[in-house]
Amino acid sequence: MFTGIIEELGLVSIIEQDNQNVHFTINSPISGALKVDQSVAHNGVCLTVIVCNATSHTVTAISETINKTNLAHWAVGSLINLERCMPANGRFDGHIVQGHVDQTAVCSKVSEEGGSWRYTFSYNPAFGNMTVEKGSICINGVSLTVVDSGVDFFSVAIIPYTYEHTQFKMLRQGDLVNLEFDIVGKYIKRLMGR
């Protein structure tokens, strides 16, 4: 389980195709602290470490993951958000994040608002996901609060700290992001539909 509080940015250094799987090697400050078989959120996608050393680690994504996330858009040199699993004795600073991406969205607008930024995202409502104002959303692994919510769009406000310490500073209109909708909201919606 994760909380959506990003620890570090990682740099994609190697991408290797292996049949339908893809191996990504990531250079990061936390790579040296990782272990093989450990789960790490990469842009909000829970991936298992298969190789690690002092400066880099490698993870594998299967075709299901590639098809449902923005991993197919990663390139050598891409910066990605990283978060290790929450320790059992740690603080719960974000919200419950599983690292299981529900779908992707497109950044439809970025506006600077007096020292902070507002990002608007459009997504396909046919998958049955939804947001609510002041509810939680996880975008590329970052736990955020929804500002505005519509049937097929929502917006979030980004403070300077989050802007500087995550890949939001690189995010532009038209970019594809990974979304994990609030787990509590998903269960409530499912129960209400029965």
Reported as a single tens digit per residue, the pLDDT across 106-133 is 999 999 998 999 999 999 999 989 999 9
**Cα 26 to Cα 47, 55, 178, 184, distances in angstroms:** 12, 8, 18, 32
**Residue range 13-61, pLDDT digits in tens:** 999 999 999 999 999 999 999 999 999 999 999 999 999 999 999 999 9
Same domain assignment for residues 107 and 182: yes
Is residue 70, in this structure, part of any structural domain at all? yes
Same domain, 80 and 109: no
Strand locations in the chain (E): 8-18, 21-27, 39-42, 45-52, 56-61, 79-84, 103-113, 116-122, 136-139, 142-149, 153-158, 176-181
Q: Give the tokens for residue 15.
A: 């991408």
The angle subtended at Cα 164 by Cα 134 and Cα 148, nearest 5°, is 20
Question: Count of CB atoms within 10 A of residue 182's CB?
Answer: 22
60/115 same-domain check: no
Residue 26 near residue 82 (C-beta atoms within 8 A): yes
Same domain, yes or no: 187 and 115: yes
- What's the structural domain count of the chain? 2
| CATH of residue 68 | 2.40.30.20
Shared-domain flag, residues 108 and 188 = yes
Tell whether 141 is covered by a domain.
Answer: yes
Q: Give the residue numbers spanning the domain of 25.
A: 8-84
94 falls within a domain: no
- Confidence bin at 93 (pLDDT 50/70/90): confident
Task: Work out the percent of the chain whose per-residue pLDDT is above 90.
Answer: 84
Q: Is residue 15 part of a domain?
A: yes
Q: Quick check: is 89 in a domain? A: no
Residues 121 and 57 in one domain: no
| Pair 188, 107 in one domain | yes
Strand partners, 176: 106
- On whether both 187 and 112 belong to a single domain, the answer is yes
Question: Which helix or strand (DSSP H or E) is residue 189 part of?
Answer: helix 183-192
For residues 173-177, average pLDDT: 98
